[in-house]
Structures are given as structure tokens and as C-alpha cells.
Amino acid sequence: MGATPAETAAMRRALQIAATPGVPLGPNPRVGCVLLAEDGSEVAEGFHRGAGAPHAEVAALTEAGDDARGTTAVVTLEPCNHTGRTGPCVEALVTAGVRRVVFAQADLNPVAAGGADALRAAGIEVEGGVLAEEAAQVNRAWTFAVEHGRPFVTWKFATTLDGRSAAADGTSRWISSEPARQDTHRLRAECDVVLVGTGTVEVDDPLLTVRDDWDRPVRHQPLRAVMGLRDIAADRRVLNNHAETVHLRTREPAEALRELFERDRQHVWLEGGPTLAAAFLAAGLVDEVVAYVAPSLLGAGANAVGDLGITTVSDQLRLRIRQAAVIGTGADANVRLTLGRTP
């Protein structure tokens, strides 16, 4: 029968609350749920607040109490049909007496799939695919990871106008401006892994944490991953207790991503140097590029990316610009380019 106007409006609200700021990312998708009475009015709503917390459907059902009986549950992801840290949402919906379920995105995770069929078997009306593309964008990294069996990779770098990521003497702090660095932390916070190579750790000694505009660490930190065969010196800051750190003893990008996927990680923020970036690009494992371009020139120094084996213009790796924005003002202005692979 399709979704009613009230159900579609409720789905937009569910998508909005699914993306509530501050919800930690990974390993679970962001999900929102709105319960509607038969007249289309809202009874309750809820969203998933992170791993181990009640799922969105359960949060909404708890808020509604006995008023949940006979309602329509509008949820951004197909209700799960498995027991993990929490019980199956299908069982909670059936027990609460929900009459109808409208969901957006089908759950492609084989562990949790099958919710729609289980609901129908219990006599509940089910309508799927409502605003599915919008729901997939809310969970773009999770969706990609489930579909491809590896994390989504965003490569971030800062460069001068002439493509230099460091000066001839090796110094690289700071090519980007303070506003650009603050912007980087906001985007870094949307990932669940920050990945660099052992060379970057040895030379730059980065923290690899997410910090706020006052340089204070935020509560929820992504996993810090260091890739490479050499040992990490014990005094490196990446080994402090500000966030969890893993050493991936490999030089193969695909192997590193496999290990991270096995750790339930869906979005890698790649901040390594030009050699590591070239390895991921050559392997076809960069899905998005975020480049901060400073209005400056160095004339010499390290390139933003290492040798890709490209010897002629016709073979150049082309990217599609998805967004361009000026970050900061005046002398602190940088241009942020967000690019994706061409189809």
C-alpha cells in the first residue's frame, strides 16, 4: 500500500534524530524510530545512543509504555532479528503490540537481517524502502562497510598551492590554518579509526586524538591505528592512555583494512604520509579525499602523495569534486575540497 504522508513525515523525523550529535560511531549504525497512533499523531520517539544502549525501537517503546499497542513504528533501519548486547527488536515490537512497521533501509548485515520476514510471520504489516537513500546517507560508512566487507576510507591531507605537504627541511607544522585544523577534528570525529604509518609516528609523534576547539580531548575517541613493520618507540604519544591504539604489522593496505573490519570498524580516516597515501591509492582503496589547500607556496619539499607509477597525463587519477568550502577568514583562510572517485 506504500507509506502514508504521515509515515513519510515521521520517517524524516526519525532520520533527523538518528543523526543526533554526540552519538558515538561504530560498530552499530545510527537509527531513529517514531511511533505513530492510528490518526497519524506521534506517540513517542527514540534513537540508538551507541553500542550497548537500547536500540531505537526499544527506546521509543519504553517512552510510549502501554500506548505503544496498536501503533505504527517508523524506523530508519529494518528491525534486527538477533540477540547481541541487546535483545532482538522484532521481539520487542511484537510483544508491545505494534500493528505496523515502516522502515527505510534494509539491514544488509547477515547477523541481524531477517527482521521484516519475522515481523510479517508474527502478523504485523510491514512496509520497507521508505526514504531508503536518505537513510543510507545517514549511515554511509556503515552501509559501505557491510556491502564491501571493508571500512570506508577517507584520505585527508593538507597541501600548499604547489602540492607540498612539507618543506625541504621536513617541517610540516603548520601548512593548514588553525580553523582548518579545527575543521579536521570535527571530521575526524565522524570516523572510528585514525590510521597513519610508523614513519609518521616516528617523525611527527602525533596524538591522533579528536580534540575540541579549545584543544581538549573529546569523550569518545576513534581507534588509533599505526600501520607498518617497525616497532613503535615506547615514548611516542600515540601509546598514551588518551585513546586505544593498535599496531597493524603489515604494509599491505588490504590486510590493514581486513584487520580493522574484523574489529567492527567502518570508517578509516587516513592521515599517513605520502608513501602510505600512495599505497592506498595504488590499491584502489581510497574512497574519499579531503584536502585542505593553503594559499601558500613552498617550491620544494615533500609531495602530498608519493609515486603512483603514472607517467603520462592520459593515465592521471581523476577525482570528482563533491564539495568545496572556504574554512576560516582572511590570512587564516584555507580551501577544503571533498572529492570522490569518478564512476
Query: Across-strand partners of 303?
Result: 164
Closest CA to 33 of 61, 5, 74: 74
Instruction: Give dist(CA 119, CA 54) in Å, integer.
Output: 19
Question: Quick one: cell of 195?
Answer: 590510521
Report the distance separating Cα 3 and Cα 332, nearest Å.
49
- The 3-state secondary structure of 215-235, one letter per residue: CCECCCCCEEEEECCCCCCCC
Q: What is the DSSP string of 111-148?
A: TT--HHHHHHHTT-EEE--TTHHHHHHHTHHHHHHHHH
Residues 155 and 270 sit within 8 Å (Cβ to Cβ): yes
Read off the amino acid at residue 62.
Answer: T
Task: Find the catalytic residue in 38, 42, 45, 57.
Answer: 57
**Local structure of 83: helix, strand or coil:** coil
Collapsed DSSP state (helix, strand, coil) of residue 155: strand
Active-site residue, 57 included: yes
Sign of the torsion angle spanned by Cα atoms 25, 31, 324, 307: positive
List, by residue number, the catalytic residues: 57
